[in-house]
Structure 1
Amino acid sequence: MEVVDENEQLIIEGNREHVVVSHVTNDSHLSDPNANESQEPYIGMEFESQENAYSFYAHYAKVIGFGISIKTSRRSKVSREFIDVKYACTRYGKKRESNAINPRPCLKVECEAYLRIKRKSDGKWVVHDFIKHHNHELFPAHARYFPCHRRINKAQQSYIENMQNVGVRTTKIYATMAKQHGGYENIGCLEKDVRNHLDKSRRLSLESGDANAMLECFMAMQEENPRFFYAIDLDDENRVKNVFWVDAKGREDYQEFGDVISFDTTYITNKYKMPFAPFIGVNNHFQSRLLGCALLADETSNTFIWLMKTWLRAMGGNPPNAIITDQDRAMKVAIREVFPNTRHRFCLWHILRKVPEKLSHVLRNNEDFKKHFNSCIYRSWSKKQFDDKWQEMVEKFQLLEDQWLQSLYEEREYWVPVYMKDTFFGGMSTTQRSESINSFFDKYVCKKTTLKEFVEKYKVALHDREEAEMQADFNTWHKQPILKTPSPFEKQMSLIYTHEVFKKFQIEVLGLSGCRLMKENKDNHLTTFEILDFQNNEEFVVEWEASKKEISCLCRLFEFNGYLCRHSLMALLTVGVFAIPSQYILKRWSKDVRSKHHKRKTDEDVCSSKERFDRLHEKSIEFIDEASLSHESYNFACHTLGEALKHCATINQSLKVDKENVGKNNLGDTSLLDPRSSKTKGAPSRRIKSGIEKGRKRHKKES
């Protein structure tokens, strides 16, 4: 369901997120909670909105003693608005079998109680079906334990945060709330809801003075290279909340490789239990490049919005063409606001890894389900073909009512490959680029690493990545790849592509032997080919327009990966074109993509302290060689060096005073305050997983 009101609250009910409307409606039966509390819905009953209908049924369910959840919903194909929704008892449906060693208890007892509403042409909603009777006992006194009846209002949120800020433990906070409300049953939430709320609003827990130590480290890095960028998000008391930085190399890389970005927050790197959020690109060697990173206090929409706006400013205001993230709602909201024209893709791996868990009962009873499911995803070459295959699959395996599959289908434009084929993703379909960076940092940091240590070790890690890139550059320019066929395309691209990209293209060249031209049709300037691919056992349609030298294939490999497929190569050979047209050779995959950045730097170009040192060292060797040739040149050199040393010291002292004055003016003679310490629960594992990846699982142990 979509969030339509800022007062709505997302909860987890079973395997799907639902909307809980927390505002009070204008309906008379809800304005007074004591008035006609047990009023039942009836067929034909009207509501001003879907939210009012939900509020009414939720109120009725709480009074009677059961929980509700959304079972099915349907949108209009024209307006895309919801027009049909079915709310059901949480014990609705059959119990799923599980092979788990310690399976979780299941609520399902095949209860048939539900309420179905439909939207009328005037915008109002009417009760279409209603089944009142339950096949299980109802417990009004236990209704508060159902997730749909639990919420923390704004007043409670403020009270909880204030109590936590002065050091009161969660158990004590909850007990005090019970006294204020006249009993635990009147609070409206459980103790674990209070813990979850505090987790979401946690702040960075730093040691005394660590914030300023980190700031000094950033300032030193900026002194080394003025293009180093950092930003620190502060609260009203000048306490640190979130931190972002990117080095000069990352900003330079973005200009060439910022078209596709992977963004992930599933890693933890330091003892403060702060998610590490890297922005990852892929260079012309198919290596991961760090294009900025952050340490975050939480994973809310507001935090992600701040981070992405800051990152965009650091990158010159040019948004990426495409971005890959996990299936996180807060992240989705932030990307839609900050990058409205960027193609957003959910990590396919994160989605598919949940299939064995969500559809275990189907996989256990149907050996061919996986084959049908994979065919939908990987062998659908048009949106219509995917829709047809999906519909056939859910009907064949009786999954029309499955909530998880239905939610996947509703968001198919964010993860199904065929919906992405018109967008260049550099061959990436998952956030594993981010995860490879995360595992790379494991060599340099551990749970006891402080923030300042992390930033400094980050520099070491970065130098290692740059060394790997330089090695790949060396191999590309000095080692010629081995050709495996006499194909003119293979020879052409071996001189242009880097080794790693060429290897991928070479697979397509080798695949030519497994293709056969089945049909050729020429219509005016357009020639259409039907090519049978024996490896995929499918026919692909390729179109060639000779006047424009434009070619396109149904598989869309070029659009997605950036190099031509075997089917297109077959068509080019058929029409007598033996060189790939220039528009199908992306510069980002070429050897010389960085050639303009590799020019020898002049004295005016030198900016970092290391570059200045190397340049002076080079000149000093020449100076020493020349000055040592005679006694006269030696005396002159010593005198000149002495005067130059005094002059340099005077300049540096003057610059130091200027910087101190600027710092005082900017900070108002105050330093940054460390964030408020937050009490976290238990010791985290080496890697913290984000929302969709771990189902919001929380540690039970409280510190």
Structure 2
Amino acid sequence: MEVVDENRELNIEGNREYVVDSHVNNDSHVSDSNADGNQEPYIGMEFASQENAHSFYVHYAKCVGFGISIKTSRRSRVSREFIDVKYVCTRYGKKRESSAINPRPCLKVECEAYLHIKRKSDGKWIVHDFIKEHNHELFPAHAHYFPCHRQINKAQKSYIENLQHVGVRTTTIYATMAKQHGGYENIASLEKDIRNHLDKTHRLSLESGDANAMLDCFVAMQEENPRFFYAIDLDEDIRVKNVFWVDAKGREDYQEFGDVISFDTTYITNKYKMPFAPFIGVNNHFQSRLLGCALLADETSNTFIWLMKTWLRAMGGNPPNAIITDQDKAMKVAIREVFPNTRHQFCLWHILKKVPEKLSHVLRKNEDFKTNLNSCIYRSWSKKQFEDKWQEMVEKFQLLENEWIQSLYEERQHWVPVYMKDTFFGGISTTQRSESINSFFDKYEAKMQADFNTWHKQPILKAPSPFEKQMSLIYTNEVFKKFQIEVLGLSGCRLLKENKDSQITTFEILDFQNNEEFVVEWDASKNEISCLCRLFEFNGYLCRHSLMALLTVCVFAIPPQYILRRWSKDVRSKHHKRKIDEDVFSSKERFDRLYEKTIEFIEEGSLSYESYNFACHTLDEALKQCATINQSLKIDKENVGKNNLCDMPLLDPRPSKTKGAPPRRIKSGIEKGNKRHKKEK
């Protein structure tokens, strides 16, 4: 606490400051409470300005563990200045009434806590009313997630930029700030806020020599974290053809969420007319995760084969179970060669968007064509049913000789849902997920917020169902919303028939919403269930028809084999439990380890004059040894680099497609490092 003058006290906490007039009530607890930074508002309390009052209540809310927002405010009709403001808890008010099938979780619980301030004639502000009590739990440790408690002050911005300038990673900066402030909850910002700030202040501007600038960027990123992977494909003139890269986070995410991949090359180009090709996966919050990306010279089979093999090597040689692409013949050839056991699905969106172009003459004459086509695609529950409907459709609309229709039928196993129902696709049937890459990158850091929402915003239960209650505790919020639709759909189902043959019980269930009958089989000896709709096989959670069958046989909990870990709240991977020796490979991890040891060293070394002298002498010797080691390593790198292709100037890619000699590839830094490591041994 710093005394400004005899009548005012200035309290500073983190990046906020507020001024409290201590002469308002000399008998109050203002001064004493300010000493520990946790003063409570009271009616009659005065502030020098509205900003001071707001800062004070924000600070109080953070200490107690809730967020605030402005409920109402009023201006003077004469001066147009604010004269009345009411701040409320973010959980103030009633829950939204929504007719949507899948409404968003609502924070509102009719909490009545608020602070009402008014402006006096002398310009000061006074607390007119204050309600302290909340009708919900408070979480001081999680208060920093609320938007009102998140901002970066000037001092922090300078500190962040200085650390980033010398090569410290964002995660390390965030961890360092947490140690300095006594915990992440005291920083007043999230890691993504720091990253957003750095993104705004540091932009890579590439003009001439784009290829060399890109290579320099890759080398720097790999020096920062050796788990960063890149590969560059060159032609005979040392001109860049294809480029692939993936960061450490993408490689880690693939270990958990690499079962289903979306790959697309159709929506971004650059001045070199090179398609941008991202590999996209889906995490347990149904969020897109970037698992690698590339710039390609063309879209030939050879190029796709190079890319697929490079990506597979970066991911440890483990191919995905399923991959979704557009309907491209060259891509199909590459996937068949590189991923022979991976299920390949064409993007439905890309196929259906061609209908107006390919069948315009049919659409003009037949308004019901789309209805028939949709019935074939989305209302066929067996292969035979699809083939019968398709044959009926092509005859009805005279499409037997249409080449495009014929080609679709020939490749039906790659795009018709009923042919793909035996493969898990995570609910993805289109690469539309990767179409808006700008939106995707904006949301790339949303996982932390999704984890917070999953653990702290329990979904609203809508039915007296044991399945709904069971899975609300297991699934993430986004997956639970999808499963909840199936629970609610139980009310639209009716059991028509039940037959038992040995261990297998067969149910015929009428689904009023789809106006279809579905067959469900239950094997009590194995606790196994399957439905004709194959929703579990495709999306990874049970359908309403299976749930009705389970209720019929008095099974009130979903069997464990039908609860996929990838959709659960607490996904934990063995790949994250690395050995201690492996954890110090990146500069971030080395920095964190040394920082922790240094703090212990300082605390112990400062306890006595003798330990202080010893600590200083030890540090001097250690610094000399570190400098000698680093200088030796620098010389070794320079010698290795003299004959390295990376030291040769690269030519920018050609704007048009290139053909010629077999490509040459720049080895990634990981490959070079491994080779050098073997030599040293």
| TM-score, scaled relative to structure 2 | 0.63
1:557 aligns with 2:526: no
Map 1:273-312; keep pairs closer than 5 Å.
Answer: 273-312=273-312
- Residue in structure 2 matching 1:485, options 434, 440, 463: 463
Structure 1: gaps (5+ residues): 1-205, 444-463, 681-703
CA distance 1:287–1:639, shift in 2 (3 Å): same
Residues in 2 aligned to 1:347 and 1:679: alpha-carbon distance in whole angstroms: 27
Residue 182 of structure 1 is matched in structure 2 by none
CA RMSD across the alignment = 2.2
Asked if 2 retains the 8 angstrom alpha-carbon contact of 1:288 and 1:437, the reply is: no
- Residue in structure 1 matching 2:502, options 499, 518, 524: 524
Deviation at 1:666, TM superposition (A): 3.9
**Greater Cα offset, 524-533 or 646-655:** 646-655
Residue 213 of structure 1 is matched in structure 2 by 213
Residues in 1 aligned to 2:582 and 2:310: alpha-carbon distance in whole angstroms: 29
Deviation at 1:305, TM superposition (A): 0.7
Deviation at 1:283, TM superposition (A): 0.8
**Structure 2 residue identity aligned to 1:239:** R
Residue 426 of structure 2 is matched in structure 1 by 426
- Residue in structure 2 matching 1:474, options 427, 452, 459: 452
CA distance 1:327–1:484, shift in 2 (3 Å): same
Deviation at 1:595, TM superposition (A): 5.2
Residues in 1 aligned to 2:341 and 2:334: alpha-carbon distance in whole angstroms: 13
Residues in 1 aligned to 2:432 and 2:348: alpha-carbon distance in whole angstroms: 10
Residue 624 of structure 1 is matched in structure 2 by 602
What whole-Å deviation, never above 9, does each CA across 1:380-422 have from its counterpart, x for those lacking one?
0011101111111111122222222222112211111111111
Residues in 1 aligned to 2:640 and 2:446: alpha-carbon distance in whole angstroms: 39
Map 1:147-546; keep pairs closer than 5 Å.
Answer: 209-268=209-268, 270-437=270-437, 439-441=439-441, 465=444, 467-546=445-524
CA distance 1:358–1:210, shift in 2 (3 Å): closer
SS of match in other structure, 1:591: coil
Residues in 1 aligned to 2:611 and 2:454: alpha-carbon distance in whole angstroms: 46
Asked if 2 retains the 8 angstrom alpha-carbon contact of 1:224 and 1:607, the reply is: no
What whole-Å deviation, never above 9, does each CA across 1:159-215 have from its counterpart, x for those lacking one?
xxxxxxxxxxxxxxxxxxxxxxxxxxxxxxxxxxxxxxxxxxxxxxx9654333322
Residues in 1 aligned to 2:577 and 2:399: alpha-carbon distance in whole angstroms: 61
**Greater Cα offset, 475-484 or 574-583:** 475-484
1:644 aligns with 2:644: no
- Residue in structure 2 matching 1:671, options 630, 644, 648: 648
**Structure 2 residue identity aligned to 1:247:** D
Map 1:21-36; keep pairs closer than 5 Å.
Answer: none
**Greater Cα offset, 247-256 or 467-476:** 467-476
CA distance 1:601–1:638, shift in 2 (3 Å): farther
Residues in 2 aligned to 1:623 and 1:499: alpha-carbon distance in whole angstroms: 44
Asked if 2 retains the 8 angstrom alpha-carbon contact of 1:240 and 1:672, the reply is: no
Residues in 2 aligned to 1:338 and 1:314: alpha-carbon distance in whole angstroms: 14
Residues in 2 aligned to 1:671 and 1:635: alpha-carbon distance in whole angstroms: 50
Residues in 2 aligned to 1:656 and 1:511: alpha-carbon distance in whole angstroms: 66
Asked if 2 retains the 8 angstrom alpha-carbon contact of 1:267 and 1:438, the reply is: no
Deviation at 1:425, TM superposition (A): 0.6
Structure 2: gaps (5+ residues): 1-205, 658-681
Residues in 2 aligned to 1:501 and 1:380: alpha-carbon distance in whole angstroms: 25
What whole-Å deviation, never above 9, does each CA across 1:588-634 have from its counterpart, x for those lacking one?
11122225456698465233222322333333334334444444443
**Structure 1 residue identity aligned to 2:291:** L
Residues in 2 aligned to 1:307 and 1:599: alpha-carbon distance in whole angstroms: 29
Asked if 2 retains the 8 angstrom alpha-carbon contact of 1:259 and 1:321, the reply is: yes
Asked if 2 retains the 8 angstrom alpha-carbon contact of 1:505 and 1:564, the reply is: yes
Residues in 1 aligned to 2:351 and 2:229: alpha-carbon distance in whole angstroms: 34
| TM-score, scaled relative to structure 1 | 0.61
**Greater Cα offset, 506-515 or 599-608:** 599-608
Residues in 2 aligned to 1:677 and 1:566: alpha-carbon distance in whole angstroms: 55
**Structure 1 residue identity aligned to 2:394:** V
Residue 637 of structure 2 is matched in structure 1 by 659
Residues in 1 aligned to 2:525 and 2:226: alpha-carbon distance in whole angstroms: 49
Residues in 2 aligned to 1:478 and 1:601: alpha-carbon distance in whole angstroms: 32
What whole-Å deviation, never above 9, does each CA across 1:646-677 have from its counterpart, x for those lacking one?
2222222222222222333443x951431464
Asked if 1 retains the 8 angstrom alpha-carbon contact of 2:422 and 2:537, the reply is: yes
Deviation at 1:357, TM superposition (A): 2.4
SS of match in other structure, 2:498: strand
Deviation at 1:477, TM superposition (A): 3.2
Asked if 1 retains the 8 angstrom alpha-carbon contact of 2:272 and 2:655, the reply is: no
Residues in 2 aligned to 1:597 and 1:623: alpha-carbon distance in whole angstroms: 32
Asked if 1 retains the 8 angstrom alpha-carbon contact of 2:285 and 2:476, the reply is: yes
Deviation at 1:679, TM superposition (A): 6.5
CA distance 1:671–1:280, shift in 2 (3 Å): same
Residues in 1 aligned to 2:647 and 2:637: alpha-carbon distance in whole angstroms: 15
Identity of aligned residues (%): 88
Deviation at 1:505, TM superposition (A): 0.9
Deviation at 1:568, TM superposition (A): 0.4
Asked if 1 retains the 8 angstrom alpha-carbon contact of 2:641 and 2:647, the reply is: no
